[in-house]
Amino acid sequence: LSLNLARLIGSIVAVYLLLKPNSVLQIHVRHIFRIDWNILKAIFRLGIPFSLEQIFFNGGSMLVQTYIVQLGTISTAANAITNSAFSVLYAAGLAVGTLASTVVGQSAGAGDKAVTRRYGVKMIWLGTVITILSILLFLPLMPLILKLYHAPVETLSLIYKLLFIAIIPMPFFWSMSNIMPNTLRSAGDSVFCSAVSLTTMWIVRVGLGYLLSIQLELGVQGVWISMGIEWTIRTTIFYLRYRSNVWLDKKVLG
């Protein structure tokens, strides 16, 4: 209820600012019912691959949960609490990813390849620095954060193990594997990013995660190890794509 209420308030404020007279982003009511097919095609071209990616990504996440449940209640509880606590460490990085989509998208839309590439690099480095700062700031506070979850004593050691597994590759690969594709998508390279994300998700996080956690009996730690490996592979692929400059030839409109 609180989440829906927050979204409702945010939507009302956003609509007010868009319809407010003399606003920089003012939208007249008549514009709402006017269809610009060029913009609409661009939205679908960028949005449909990403939407399909999210659908199959969530499906893969649900599949991972099905074999985590097989590991017992302690592993299930530790995984859930760690996921929630871990989100504190990458929340600021996600915000940079959203910012990157806007900044890089504007320069890509203007057709300035040099500026697009330069802003993309800056956003990636900004995300990396902010992610590292988040780790340095919140990691010492993690015992206090975990107290908010009233985690069972028997899960605490496992929670810290999972956090340790994730934090090792996070400064090097998390922002690169999550912010870099946002810069590529905003320049029109949406299909490639979605294909890479889906492939690595199902082969590495789902497939390798099952192999490590169930077949090799590493438990829930195997799931988190596979996640770190996925970040590494995604980073490598997106880095090579970024350096190739092929994405700069994609068209956002037209």
The 10s digit of each residue's pLDDT in 209-231 is 999 999 999 999 999 999 999 99
**Residues 25 and 63 placed together within one structural domain of the fold:** no
Q: Identify the pLDDT of residue 252.
A: 62
pLDDT at 35 over 90: no
Q: Write the pLDDT tens digit of every residue in 92-145.
A: 888 898 888 888 888 887 788 888 899 999 999 999 999 999 999 998 999 999
Q: Minimal CA–CA distance to 143: which of 156, 130, 152, 162?
A: 156
Q: Identify the pLDDT of residue 103.
A: 87
Element (H, E) at 169: none
Task: Quote the percentage of the chain above a pLDDT of 90.
Answer: 43
**Residues 76 and 2 placed together within one structural domain of the fold:** no
| Within a domain: 125 | yes
The total of other beta-carbon atoms located within 10 Å of residue 11's CB is 10
User: Where does the pLDDT of residue 152 fall: very low under 50, low under 70, confident under 90, or very high at 90 and above?
Assistant: confident
**Residues 4 and 108 placed together within one structural domain of the fold:** no
Highest mean pLDDT among 20-24, 33-37, 91-95: 91-95
Which tops the pLDDT comparison, 47 or 100?
100
**Residues 14 and 44 placed together within one structural domain of the fold:** no
Which tops the pLDDT comparison, 179 or 35?
179
Q: Identify the pLDDT of residue 79.
A: 94
Mean pLDDT of all residues in 44-48? 77
Q: Which domain holds residue 2?
A: 1-34
**Residues 4 and 47 placed together within one structural domain of the fold:** no
Using only C-alpha atoms, what is the Rg of the chain? 20
**Residues 3 and 118 placed together within one structural domain of the fold:** no
**Residues 25 and 137 placed together within one structural domain of the fold:** no
pTM: predicted TM-score of the whole model, two decimal places: 0.84
Q: Minimal CA–CA distance to 205: which of 85, 90, 97, 56?
A: 56
Average pLDDT, the chain: 87
Q: Write the pLDDT tens digit of every residue in 72-87.
A: 999 999 999 999 999 9
Domain count for the chain: 2
| Within a domain: 226 | yes
**Residues 69 and 112 placed together within one structural domain of the fold:** yes
**Residues 161 and 202 placed together within one structural domain of the fold:** yes
pLDDT at 24 over 80: no
| Within a domain: 254 | no
Question: Half-sphere exposure (CA, 13 Å, Cβ side) for 16?
Answer: 6
